[in-house]
Amino acid sequence: DTEVTQTPKHLVMGMTNKKSLKCEQHMGHRAMYWYKQKAKKPPELMFVYSYEKLSINESVPSRFSPECPNSSLLNLHLHALQPEDSALYLCASSQDWLAGLEQFFGPGTRLTVL
Amino acid sequence: AQSVTQLDSQVPVFEEAPVELRCNYSSSVSVYLFWYVQYPNQGLQLLLKYLSGSTLVESINGFEAEFNKSQTSFHLRKPSVHISDTAEYFCAVASGTGFQKLVFGTGTRLLVSP
């Protein structure tokens, strides 16, 4: 199984809502990532978890809160988002958090903030 | 800081024609180089990667890329494209010094027409 799954595929939320994005992998990978991708732009790294511990936070606003409940799951909790947060949110995983290792990407959650 | 330049935002070609997508990177240390492809409404898929060894790397679907250290380039080529190759192509670099943080180029949209 070389698949990273993400739910939901689409999400529309208001600025006062609280929602969560979910990501799952069963490849035994120990590094997991959240990226944000705006239309016609490259993915931008948001967070890196290595061995279930937050290793990188790329100065992401606190209205985005990541969580790694176990080695297979990665969540992104959303609260009080702004319209400019609308984007495709991609999850990825790799065997370990070392340079040169392939990152496997999920299909993404397309988020629209009204 | 590392950076990746993809000068061509869009490359239109006819089916069965050859294509080259350009990628240049800036880094003073050893690097790992990747090409990812993103089909519409999907996540990113690894196309090929250079880690070390032979400077010419190939993918299973006919793409190849050549690492040129003196020109700091990693151009992607295919001798004969198909309609199904229409997608966004991202070049990415990771530093060869420990933890992996992928830096993506701005992407090149390959448009193959009949």
Cβ–Cβ under 8 Å, residues B33 and B92: yes
What chain B residue is nearest to A91 in terms of C-alpha separation? Answer: B43
HSE of A8, CA atoms in CB hemisphere, 13 A: 9
Q: Please give the average per-residue pLDDT across A45-55, as a whole number.
A: 93
What's at B60, amino acid-wise?
A: I
List residues of B whose CB lies inside 8 A of any A CB: 32, 34, 36, 41-46, 49, 51, 90, 94-102, 104-107
**What pLDDT, on the 0 to 100 scale, is given for residue B28?**
64
What chain B residue is nearest to A104 in terms of C-alpha separation? Answer: B45
Q: Nearest CA to B108 among B52, B65, B54?
A: B65
**What pLDDT, on the 0 to 100 scale, is given for residue B97?**
63
**Which pLDDT band holds residue A2 (cuts at 50, 70, 90)?**
low
What is the Cα–Cα distance from B107 to B45, expressed in whole angstroms? 14
Counting as low any pLDDT under 70, the low residues of chain B are 28, 96-98
Cβ–Cβ under 8 Å, residues B3 and B25: yes
B109: tokens are 């949209």
Q: Is B84 helix (H, G, I), strand (E, B) or coil?
A: helix
